[in-house]
Structure 1
Amino acid sequence: MHAHIASTSGSAVYRERLSPSLWLLVSAAVCAPMVALVFTPFDSTVALIAGAATGAAVVAALMSLSPVVEIADDWLRVGRARIELRYLGDAEALVGQEARLARGPGLGRYSWHLIRGGIDGIVRVPVQDADDPVTMWVFSSRTPDRVAAALRRARSTS
């Protein structure tokens, strides 16, 4: 979990990288022995180097390409999407069964969502812009209560 809360120039800031679970990273690292096995007939040293490099590259790519949840400068950014805080309603932090329902049958058809497997928490934020066809943002977070609190703080100071 990579969560960070700070205060800069009076506005609340929150940042969390939705990195893959440890099990997914370990599963991705299985690429290393497979690549090494392919190169073993040529040279065992080359095979070890190619396998290690491939495993490290796959894990690094999974980490660096993970979406980020960020609240800064009167904006909420989730992955590549962003919205001004003035268009958002009160955030709702969900965990457990509530989060499961929000990810599944409770996911509205006009909702924008970024849901990551292996992350239980969900944040649900209504959009209060009549011109926006999206009615709600629904996204994963390992600390949904912190995201909701940071959104409330940031909206109150903007």
Structure 2
Amino acid sequence: MPTYRERLWPAAWMYVVIALIVPATLLVFTPISLVAGVITAIVLVGAGVGLLLASAPTIAVEGGALRAGRASIPLEMVGDGVPARTEEARHERGPGLDARAHLLLRGWVDPVLRVPILDPDDPAPYWLVSTRRPEELAAAIEAGRASGADAS
């Protein structure tokens, strides 16, 4: 049973951007064939929406591990998460970013959680993860670490 699970779905404005494919495609194809333009627009919009949905990563704390997209790390190898919002989040993603950090960032999700890595052999000093609920994710990591320590 997951302690925390979040899917970083694209923001609504991303679908509006995808919808702009329709007039652009019709503008290009209408002089050739209106039917070809409509069919091409439908295919391109469908592909765009499909790519947006397929590329939405999942963040989860389950089975004694933190999973962010395809990456996973045992909870005993991470420290307490540090949530950041607005200006603090902008600093974490920009001037305060360590180039060695493992990143799972999405431009349409403002808050981030910085999760320190305790493994001395890991080249990444921390993970920086976009999340709409950074405080809940930090609490889930802490609870998962505590339950893992109790089981040992």
Q: TM-score, normalised by structure 2?
A: 0.86
5+ long unaligned stretches in structure 1: 1-7
- Higher normalized strand content (fraction of residues): 1
1:49-60 → structure 2 map (5 Å cutoff): 49-60=39-50
**Structure 2 residue corresponding to 1:120, chosen from 77, 102, 110:** 110
CA displacement 1:38-92 (0-9 Å, x = unmatched)? 3324443443233123212211211211222122111111122111111001111
The sequence identity of aligned pairs, in percent, is 38
1:61-140 → structure 2 map (5 Å cutoff): 61-140=51-130
5+ long unaligned stretches in structure 2: none
Q: Is the 8 A contact 1:29 1:59 kept in 2?
A: no
The CA RMSD over aligned residues, in Å, is 1.7
In 1, the alpha carbon distance for the partners of 2:104 and 2:28 equals 36
Q: Secondary structure at the match of 1:128?
A: coil
Q: 1:53 corresponds to which letter in structure 2?
A: V
Count of aligned residue pairs for this structure pair? 148
Q: TM-score, normalised by structure 1?
A: 0.83
